[in-house]
């Protein structure tokens, strides 16, 4: 997923909030695998916890709606499936009429986006295309 500068600023803002609120807590952290065969003084194996890295955090928000809602971040990726949708982003769209499969190929050659990425945080919505 490629994001523009404005989207990256939103992602950075929510990630900083996540970092600060989970710094000393384990309930919102991802559990690492148990330390295989390592004795920690008493011979027992303990779990180690860490915060999600930025990419992990973004992926978790994209795939887990409950987690995403908790942090107020919504990331949606949607394919632009019709020629009509894609023609909005082509300055030479007048030469394409109707919905024909080869029009997608023409739009691809012109570099017209196939995907809409929408990031919502604190009632701010930022869209980009790729």
Q: Distance between CA atoms of 84 and 79, rounded to whole angstroms? A: 13
Rounded mean pLDDT, 38-48? 53
What distances in angstroms separate CA 55 from CA 15, 43, 61, one per listed residue? 10, 34, 10
pLDDT in tens, 73-83: 999 999 998 87
Does the pLDDT at position 36 exceed 50? no
Which residues, listed in sequence order, are joined to residue 31 by a DSSP beta bridge? Answer: 49
| Residue ranges of E strands in the chain | 30-31, 49-50, 73-79, 115-121, 124-129
pLDDT in tens, 94-119: 555 555 667 788 888 888 888 989 99
Does the pLDDT at position 53 exceed 80? yes
92 band by pLDDT with thresholds 50, 70 and 90:
low
CB 84 within 8 A of CB 93: no
pLDDT in tens, 16-25: 999 988 876 5
Does the pLDDT at position 41 exceed 80? no
pTM metric for this prediction: 0.68
Instruction: Enumerate helices (H) and strands (E) in the chain, giving the number of each.
Output: 5, 5
Residue 18: strand, helix, or coil: helix
């Amino acid at each position: 997923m490629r994001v523009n500068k404005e989207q990256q600023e939103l992602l950075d803002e929510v990630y900083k909030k996540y970092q600060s609120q989970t710094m000393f807590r384990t309930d919102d952290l991802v559990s690492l695998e148990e330390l295989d065969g390592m004795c920690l003084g008493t011979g027992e194996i303990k779990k180690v916890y860490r915060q999600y890295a930025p990419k992990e955090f973004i992926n978790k928000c994209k795939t887990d709606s409950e987690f995403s809602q908790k942090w107020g971040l919504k990331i949606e990726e949607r394919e632009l499936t019709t020629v009509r949708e894609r023609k909005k982003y082509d300055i030479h769209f007048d030469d394409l009429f109707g919905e024909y499969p080869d029009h997608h190929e023409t739009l691809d050659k012109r570099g017209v986006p196939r995907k809409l990425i929408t990031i919502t945080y604190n009632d701010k919505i930022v869209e980009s295309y790729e």
